[in-house]
Amino acid sequence: MLCNELSPWRALITHGFCLDDNKQKMSKSLGNVIDPMSWDIDELRIFFGTLNLTSDVSLNQNSINHAKEVLFRFKNTFKFLMGMLAIEDDIEEIKYENLPFFEKWILHRLSLIDAEFQNVLKEFQLNNYVNFIYEFCSQDLSSFYFDIRKDVLYCEDKNNFERKSAIYVFSIIMEALLKYIAPIAPYLCENVYSIYLEESNKEIKSIHLEDKFIVDLNFNNLEVSEKMEKYKELRKQVYQKIEILREAKEISTSYEVMVGLPIEFQDYDLIKTMLMVSCVKSSDKNELEVIKISDVWKKCPRCKFYFENIDEVCQRCSEVLKEC
């Protein structure tokens, strides 16, 4: 029965038949159905959110496992963000133009989610949207941005500008992802929001009552994106050489090497951060070199980087510890 004789939706999307492993239509009489009550509700929503709705649906254990993996990635992303934001007494707002390169890049990637969201509203291609967010959480955040920023988050002083910039951007990502993922995994986002609510003193009591996320037009930065593509290609080449050393059991981590760069690369500090190596310098041969240094340099037990000359810890860590 319709309330006020109106349907509870403005648009309704349907998919084809649900098929089993043998591509047979699922039915109770054949006994080849999967009970949806055995799924977590958010997993079920994610599964249907990742479907190509123009064809029939293959429903099997692999389908369930993929939905579980997507939800697991969302949970871990929120867990890391909340863990870092919870220990901050105050999050300082930083103007976009003053943000470091990596923060500008991750905000550019975030802006692309919004473009996918706008496309969903027009084309109803929900699977592209869900997959894009999943790739953002698993590749852009977990495998790259979170990884390269752990050094400043864990080892720098709390007043360090790069650290404060990362924390500020974390708060933006947190708000955005809660709003972007809420239609897909509403129970997860409501649970995360209820915890985040206490930390941030928000007055709105549900993520589903929040206004949509507004993307700053500055976030869509093609110049930063193009520069990062160049650096990512460099990173790929360096890690191929590092992997050769790993397989030969000469090193176990990227911290144990020095990288020599061709003259075309000049941003040594930026590249060092991205590569997570102990030293970056120009190559005397004007070619890409990866050189093991862990057998002659000394490891800082706090930050794990290697240095030619240190006492108990490196100079940076020593200065940070003095402030504690």
Which domains are delineated in the chain?
A: 61-220 (1.10.730.20), 230-323 (3.30.2320)
Interval 122-170: pLDDT, tens: 887 888 899 999 999 999 999 999 999 999 999 999 999 999 999 999 9
Whether pLDDT at 241 is above 60: yes
Please, which pLDDT band fits residue 24 given cuts at 50, 70 and 90? confident
Closest of 309, 310, 235, 316 to residue 277, by C-alpha? 235
Closest of 97, 115, 90, 109 to residue 171, by C-alpha? 90
DSSP-based three-state secondary structure for 257? strand
User: What's the pLDDT at 201?
Assistant: 64
User: Pairing mode, if any, of strands 18-19 and 257-261?
Assistant: unpaired
Dig out the tokens for 162 from the structure: 């790069």
Looking at residue 26, what DSSP letter applies?
P
User: What's the pLDDT at 1?
Assistant: 47
Interval 62-82: pLDDT, tens: 878 889 999 999 999 999 999
Looking at residue 145, what DSSP letter applies?
I
User: What's the pLDDT at 141?
Assistant: 98
- The dihedrals phi and psi of 83, each to the nearest 5 degrees, come to -60, -40
User: What's the pLDDT at 276?
Assistant: 97
Pick the most confident of 11-15, 19-23, 198-202. 19-23
For residues 13 and 260, the model is more confident at 260
Whether pLDDT at 174 is above 60: yes
Please, which pLDDT band fits residue 48 given cuts at 50, 70 and 90? confident
Mean pLDDT for all residues in the chain: 91
For residues 13 and 277, the model is more confident at 277
Interval 250-308: pLDDT, tens: 999 999 999 999 999 999 999 999 999 999 999 999 999 999 999 999 999 999 999 99
Helix ranges restricted to H, the chain: 41-49, 61-86, 101-123, 126-135, 146-155, 161-181, 186-200, 222-247, 268-275, 315-323
Q: Tell me if 274 sits within 8 A of 253, measured CB to CB.
A: no
Whether pLDDT at 53 is above 80: no
Rounded to whole angstroms, how far apart are CA atoms 212 and 271? 35
Looking at residue 91, what DSSP letter applies?
P
Rounded to whole angstroms, how far apart are CA atoms 99 and 233? 23
Whether pLDDT at 3 is above 70: no
Please, which pLDDT band fits residue 21 given cuts at 50, 70 and 90? confident
Whether pLDDT at 83 is above 50: yes
